[in-house]
Copies of this chain bind each other. A is one copy, B any other.
């Protein structure tokens, strides 16, 4: 439990931290320069738009996005303030509520995907062959599992237009 990490492991750790932060910065900057809100908004709008009826319980959103409860609560506040979503009461459970995406929200999500996908291509896709991208996924997945005991039922939450970090 106190063994030292190899220099290889330490290097990998440092690369993981530095590269992720740099690539994320680049993507966020591109989005911001295009006049869009932060990525977290996109993620939330995507989850909502994917929901069959365009609405989710905050607690569902929280689980999808892997962010804490208070963070979800305040993110919803902001989306509602901007007219991208609306809160609706939940009749069968008066503690809860539903968050429903608005038309403006759906539209923003689609427009953001244009800039977002371009940024992914620019900072990731263009630097790695598909085969290498697959290798990278495999290596990263080995780190990701059993860290905080996540249960992501459909492990690959990724299809056509669905980056949801």
Contacts and interface: CB of A to CB of B under 8 A. Distances in A.
Interface of A: 1-26, 66, 114, 117-118, 120-125, 127-128, 130-137, 139-144, 147-148, 150, 156-160, 163-165
Interface centre among A8, A147, A157 (most CB of B within 10 A): A8
B11 A156 contact: yes
Counted per complex, copies of this chain come to 2
B22 A118 contact: no
A10 B120 contact: yes
B137 A135 contact: no
8 contacts: A1-B118, A8-B130, A9-B124, A9-B130, A11-B133, A16-B20, A17-B165, A127-B143
